[in-house]
Structure 1
């Protein structure tokens, strides 16, 4: 029997939400790791681990969009990936130590095993050919992952960064091979379901941000400065939440009408990857400020406080530009303000940097809320 992805919008099943719980744990691990290792090397390690974790989630979610979760075979696959994913995510704190092999073995088992599974379920011809190419790209990157696990921690980062770069290029380009690439127009694909899964994954990131703020609040002394910095952190988180969900209905409509939902879905997956990374960075910055509000912010704290929201807003602005024939000028202004704020407040107290960053994000959210429905008047562009 040949499977095709029904383009009709489907409900997200409880099993898919259960699967996502493993990644609540992962995001918490990554955020904590970034706080424990606030250096350039530590940040690079966190980025490499995050991209691997996100790839495991994103490609599994794409597979479930192709083969619905109501299918018993899909249910077994999801549970298997969830089981392996728990061990992969538990290895995050020691992935650049004695748990490198655990992280790599479970990651490759998920990545390659799930792709082989997809090739056995009876996809339509275009998707079948595409996932053969995906498998080739994954297998090509595997020696880099394995070599990284075999060397010491200093060299490991370089090998794993190279493997991550191969996978990112493949995802960005649609996993081409000489003379063969994906022509996704008019291919049936449940883009609305994929978008809904992305929205739910973003809620996971917001949940982690709120938990991070709450945890920092419980360990800090109950003083006026603690209450101020916690309030600023929560206000910024709420504003980022509003910026994502208050503008999403017209994107949902585009996913339902477009002639190339796979292209739109790939753009959405890449945008979500950067947006969640921005949320993790912003949450880590808020925790640093709550713990040490009167210290000079410095470059590290400012990159988290301003760079996290900038990455978050910039990714969504790019995604909107790929779908609609317009870029939101207010978002470009906000991005410029975040860059300027990061530069001019490095010598200021940390609480003041947090206040400036939150004020920029809140101002953008209030402005867009008053321009309902959802920011710039945009119109769909013809599929490429």
Structure 2
């Protein structure tokens, strides 16, 4: 089936403000990908707690998936995704991301080469597309992308081939360190000064909603697998309220005015990259919070598990930590409720150290509710606030 607009290889400015059906189809892969990340984290927690090594390994895997999504979204903002080159980019990225997600549970162990090989294969396929279809103009020079590909592919594969997990993590950290500046410079050249604020903001909103959907999924699964007793029901109710508060805190109001903020920025490209990095932190927090929801739903009255506080309290804290700079980018200030929320979650750590998981869950949800209420009071007293133009 060929959709309207498939004869256009480059997006027209007037069509930039909406994501296409094909882009939404691509996002479905990341429902599965985030689920695999959550599964790996849960396995670590249930096998004795999440140590620094396990957290670092899962973070590197998550970052690999994130850059797959981010670079594909950036390319789709210039190459019309319904054109043949655009479809190749999207479908090859879907295939690569699916293989990477399948490898995640053992992505730092037996399936490291599968994970790294899928990422490199997608990058190489994009290079071949450029070389075989040079008439497709995506704007700017391919040099940043070529240098990034050449510089990052070697440590990706080298890391997968070594047996030492610490050395593998070092190689992959170097690969990601090369990927990031290559993405930033390449995105600036692809955009060519014309950034589709509505489209980019919508794509970030959609991937954030997918992370919330993953939190709903793991919470519902934990409740479904329980015996549906009152403590489990209380845990599920707390998780549901927490997910609603994550949604409210994100969208009221920075998330809603992000399109206007990018469009009105002095440097829309820089604003777009900064917003993407803030979303990376927020989405990491939501995924980690979702793991915390499952932990205290499934074992609400179990013995105290201090390591679980990394997810139960650390997830909401990481979300607020990303939400603060996001608000700064959009409005040029940070609400005190963000800082108070982080402080309150920190104070809860010693208080929840020797309590059942459900108590810690109730504390984290109460903090999120307080932050959301403070946002509502601020919005009612000050009215609608226009975006700032700092960047």
Q: Same fold (TM over 0.5)?
A: yes
Instruction: Compute the displacement of 1:283 (Å).
Output: 0.7
Deviations 1:79-100 (A, max 9, x none): 1221222212111112222221
How many equivalent residue pairs?
A: 374
Conservation of the 8 A alpha-carbon contact between 2:9 and 2:83: no
2:76 is matched with which residue?
64
Taking the TM superposition and a 5 Å limit, the aligned residue runs for 1:191-270 are: 191-247=197-253, 248-270=255-277
Residues 14 and 7 of structure 1: CA distance in aligned 2, closer, same or farther (over 3 Å)? closer
Residues 373 and 253 of structure 1: CA distance in aligned 2, closer, same or farther (over 3 Å)? farther
Deviations 1:44-77 (A, max 9, x none): 1110100000100110001001122233321222
Q: Which segment drifts farther, 241-250 or 27-36?
A: 241-250
2:324 is matched with which residue?
317
Taking the TM superposition and a 5 Å limit, the aligned residue runs for 1:1-384 are: 6=13, 9-38=16-45, 39-40=50-51, 41-114=53-126, 117=129, 120=134, 121-124=136-139, 128-129=140-141, 131-152=142-163, 154=165, 155-168=167-180, 170-171=182-183, 174-175=184-185, 187-247=193-253, 248-372=255-379, 380-382=387-389, 384=391
2:5 is matched with which residue?
none
RMSD of aligned Cα (Å): 2.7
- Give the Cα–Cα distance (whole angstroms) in 2 for the partners of residues 295 and 379 of structure 1: 47
Deviations 1:329-355 (A, max 9, x none): 111111111122224312221111110
Instruction: Compute the displacement of 1:196 (Å).
Output: 0.3
- Give the Cα–Cα distance (whole angstroms) in 2 for the partners of residues 175 and 188 of structure 1: 14
Q: Which segment drifts farther, 89-98 or 44-53?
A: 89-98
Instruction: Compute the displacement of 1:376 (Å).
Output: 9.2
DSSP 3-state at the match of 2:176: helix
- Give the Cα–Cα distance (whole angstroms) in 1 for the partners of residues 191 and 336 of structure 2: 30
Instruction: Compute the displacement of 1:200 (Å).
Output: 1.0
Q: Scaled by the length of structure 1, what TM-score is found?
A: 0.89
Instruction: Compute the displacement of 1:159 (Å).
Output: 2.2
Residues 197 and 382 of structure 1: CA distance in aligned 2, closer, same or farther (over 3 Å)? closer
Q: Which segment drifts farther, 89-98 or 348-357?
A: 89-98
